[in-house]
Amino acid sequence: MQKILIIDDEAAICSSLSFALEDMYIVKTTTKPSEGLNWVKEETFDLCLLDLKIGAINGMEVLTRLKEIQQDIIIIMMTAYGTISSSVEAVKKGAYSYLTKPIHIDGLYSIVEQALNYQKLNRQVECLSQELHDKYIYNGIIGKSPVMKNVFELIEKLKDVDTNVVITGESGTGKEMVARAIHYAGKRKKEAFVAVNCSAIPEHLLESELFGYKKGAFTGANSDKIGKFQYANHGTIFLDEIGDMPMALQAKLLRVLQLKQITPLGANESIELDIRVLAATNKDLKKAVEEGEFRQDLYFRLNVVEIDLPPLREKRQDLILLFQHFIQVYNKELNKNIVGISQEAQDYLMEYEYPGNIREFANIIEYSMLMAEGSYIQVKDLPMEVKKKTLSTFTYNQNPIEAFVGLSLDDMEKLLIEATLNRNKGHRKKTAEVLGISERGLRNKLRKYNL
């Protein structure tokens, strides 16, 4: 059973809370903070219900000591209504949440269960972090969802053969990481991996970038240039955004793939190739073929096997692993010591759609860690875009006002105006009436918030 420690200077409160919880948990109570701290040194507790003011002792100091002794203990502050602001400050310093006195039993059960589930999840993630490289990271790709397991299995099958592969998926889903995994897990891992972004290089330069040229081949060719195909020979070339390759160059690429040789511009002799070709696109190549924007013969030559990477919103099982991974990454880069994400902030992140996928997710975690003042990322630390997009989707078991905790009044007003405008399909007069302000007042607020 999970163990709960209760520290409160009123013996009656200790007794009543113990009576309420002892059927479900192992409970120990004390009116003396020093005794409670000694117990935590000697045995592991999962959760502590801690009074904010214990006689002459400040509960904030006890909170700090508890966290120093056992970092992952969940602490729920208990406070009178007049000191709620202090409890909020305690949350910033590592407390999970707070309860106001008199404590309602239903609320107590709910928050204790929620907190212990949160702790269990965090402990699972900590255990997983020790096993990530063995179980949930495949050559740098993180995932335990069924779709990602399928991707790992495909990579295993493809790593030691030279079959051409097209990797598809939205921007930011990790297509290049999959290409690198295929290369570095396979027989060519000691040879070069060369990535070329076909959409980032101007059309008139892309051919020479891929295939090279000889000195004097054209005005300005003052020396030989080795193309990417020749540089990657015996290794792997990764053609990113292949769907943006110009049609004229597609024909030349097809010939290279068929003959397995290149002839640099201005050269008389061809260079034999022993090379693995991987390609990626965020476009629908079949549709591009139908619309005459991509050669059908090149499509079939490249697309022997297709690996389709799902967007992040379709594999939310992987989010917890990604939380842990990027917190570890940015703790080192930003010299921070973030240990986790508050339950409320985690709810926002779990609901967000991530149009930019893993790339956007990483940016959100980096931003939130920069903003965080305590050991945990709180709702207030999240980018405004995340809070704005997810608020309307929440259903809270407790008071709905909890959805707005962590937002400034301006943030709340902006969200309310925007949501009302959307409901009224942009009709300003109706929006002003619903909000109880004049149309002029609404215009001023729209200007203030750039809506």
pLDDT value for 374: 80
pLDDT value for 134: 55
Tens digit of pLDDT for each residue in 357-392? Answer: 999 999 999 999 999 988 889 888 999 888 876 555
pLDDT value for 82: 53
What sections of 132-284 are H helices per DSSP? 146-158, 175-185, 203-211, 228-231, 247-259
d(CA 416, CA 265): 61
pLDDT value for 365: 95
Quick count: other Cβ atoms within 10 Å of Cβ 83?
A: 18
* pLDDT greater at residue 424 or residue 245: 245
For the chain, domains (ranges, CATH) are 3-130 (3.40.50.2300), 146-312 (3.40.50.300), 315-402 (1.10.8.60), 408-451 (1.10.10)
Most confident of 110-119, 264-273, 411-420, 423-432: 264-273
pLDDT value for 395: 42
For residue 242, which amino acid is it?
I
pLDDT value for 283: 92
N-to-C CA span, the chain: 52
Tens digit of pLDDT for each residue in 198-232? Answer: 999 988 889 999 999 988 888 888 898 899 999 99
CA angle 443, 446, 448 (to 5 degrees): 110
Does 396 score more than 70 pLDDT?
Answer: no
Q: What percent of the chain stands above pLDDT 90?
A: 47
d(CA 15, CA 154): 59
Taking all residues of the chain, what is their mean pLDDT, rounded to a whole number? Answer: 86
Closest to 21 measured CA to CA, from 115, 90, 92: 115
Only one residue has tokens 């405004």, namely 384
Asked if residue 279 lies in contact with residue 242, where contact means CB atoms within 8 angstroms, the answer is yes
Q: What backbone phi and psi angles, to 5 degrees, belong to 75?
A: -120, 125
Quick count: other Cβ atoms within 10 Å of Cβ 311?
A: 17
Bridging pattern class, strands 47-51 and 26-30 = unpaired
* pLDDT greater at residue 180 or residue 345: 180
pLDDT value for 337: 82
What mean pLDDT do residues 149-175 have?
A: 93
